[in-house]
Amino acid sequence: MPATARHPAALDLLADLIARARRAGADAADAVHFTGVSESASYRLGKTEDIERAEGNDLGLRVFIGKRQSFVSSTDASPAALGELVERAIAMARNAPEDRYCGLADPARLAKEFPDLDLVDDAEPTVEALVARARVAEEAALAVTGVTNSEGAGAGWSRSEVALATSDGFAGSYASSHHSVSVSVIAGDQARGMERDYDFASARHLCDLAAAETVGRQAGELAVRRVGPRKVASCKAPVVFAPRVALSLLGHLAGAIAGPSITRGTSFLKNRLHEPVFAAGIRITDDPHRRRGIKSRPFDGEGVANRKLDLVEDGRLTTWLLDSASARQLGLAATGHASRGTASPPSPSTANLYLAPGPLTPEALIGDIAQGFYVTELIGMGVNGVTGDYSRGAAGFWIENGKIAYPVSELTIAGNLKDMFRALTPANDLVFKYGTDSPTVRVEGMTVAGT
C-alpha cells in the first residue's frame, strides 16, 4: 500500500506549507504532522479511578537557508497560523548559526515503496471495555494467594497518524494503533515485609493483546515471589538478567552506536566498528518492518528507506545508527534510523531492536551456577556512556546450585559494558513484547555488592 494512500489531506497541508516556505525564501524545507487520540481507564480496589481521553494535532516545519536551519511548531493549522509559522521559521533561519552538516536527506536514499505493516486496528474500544479490562487484571492479581494490596490497574487504547513531506519530493504517511493493559500489586505484610511487582502487555491489534487475567496473575505471582528478601555478601558472580531488564543492555548499545555519540567522540565503542564487541555467534537486529511490531515504521523520520539490519553479526559491530547529519559528519550514508519531532532536528533511534535467542533454556543457562544473581529489577542510571562503566542498584533472586533459591534486594551490580558484552550469553526465551526485546541473558564475572 502506498504510504500516501491513507492521509492525503495531511500531505496536502504539508505540501502547501513547504511551498509557502520556498516562496518566502527557504532554499529547502520539510514538514511533519502528528495527529493522535488516546483513551485510558484506571481501576483500583474495585473502583474506577480515572477515565481520560486526549487528542493531539501537532505540526512542525524545518527550513534551510544556505547552511542555516530553524524549527517551528504549532497546533493551529489555519491559513493565518501557517503564514505566521513560515514567517517565524524564515526569520529564525536567517539568524541561526551555520551548520555545515545540516540539510535534507540524500534524495537517492528516500523511500520509494512502503510496505503494509498492518499497524492499524480500526476497532475503537468503549470506555466500558477499557474499565472491564483493567478490572479483570486487578481481580486476577488480587486472587493470587499472598497479594495484600493493589497499586491499581490500567487499560488503554490509542491511534496516531504521521505524515512527512520534503521539498525534494518525498511524501509519506502512516497510521498505527495501540492497546495495553497493566497492573501493579503489593504482597506480604508488616511482619515479613511488603514487596511490589507489576506486569503489562501491549499490542497493535487487540486480538494480539495478552489476556488481562494472564497479566494480572503474572503480576501477583511476581510480587509474592519477592516477599522476604535476604541480604548477601559482596562477591564476584555470574549475573542473569530477566528479559524485562536484559533489554536495557540493548539500550546501552544503541546509545553507544548512535551517530551523535560517535561524532562527538563520547562513546566507549567509538573505535570499534567492524570489530568483535560481543562473543562469536551473537546477533542483534533492528527490524522496522516487523509486521504489527510495536515500533514498526515504513520509513524513517527523514523519509529515508529503512530495512531489517543486523547491528551486530557473529559478535561484530557492523554499523552506526545514522541520521543524515551525523552520516555527513562521518562521511557515511544515513542508515534509515532517524526519528523526528516537531521542534527539533532528527536524531537516530532504533525501531524493533532485539537480541537473537541462543540454544539454551533459561533453566539450562543457570544450571551450572553455584552462586549467582538473577536480576528482575534495576534501579538508578549509573552508566557512563564514555567509558562503559556500569553500576546499578538491583533486586531479584539468589541462585544456589543451579536453582533460584530465595529473593534478595538492596544489591548493586557493577562492571564495564565492554566486558559485559563480551561475556554475554542469551537463552532461548525471546518474546516480542516491549519494542526493544531480549531473551534471558547471563553475564559472567560481575561484581555484586551486598552487605
Question: pLDDT, tens digit, for every residue of 98-142?
Answer: 999 999 999 999 999 999 999 999 989 999 999 999 999 999 999
pLDDT value at residue 1:
37
How far lies 435's CA from each of 72, 221, 247, 248, in Å? 30, 24, 9, 12
pLDDT value at residue 205:
97
Give per-residue pLDDT as tens, 372-394: 999 999 998 889 999 999 999 99
User: What are the chain's domains?
Assistant: 8-223 (3.30.2290.10), 229-451 (no CATH)
- Would the pTM of this model clear 0.85, i.e. be above it? yes
pLDDT value at residue 380:
87
Q: Which residues contact 118 (CB under 8 A, 6 or more apart)?
A: 204, 205, 291, 292
Task: Extract the residue ranges of the chain whose pLDDT is less than 50.
Answer: 1-6
From CA 66, how far away is CA 99, in angstroms rounded? 9
Helix (H), strand (E) counts: the chain: 9, 19
b/e burial code for range 268-284 (CB count within 10 A of at least 16 → b): bbbebbeeebbeeebbb
Name the β-bridge partners of 398: 373, 406
Of 63, 254, 286, which is closest to residue 166 (Cα–Cα)?
63
Q: Which residue has 499490542 as its cell numbers? A: 203
pLDDT value at residue 7:
61
From CA 277, how far away is CA 296, in angstroms rounded? 26
**What would the grid cell of residue 360 be?**
539454551
From CA 31, how far away is CA 62, in angstroms rounded? 6
pLDDT value at residue 450:
87
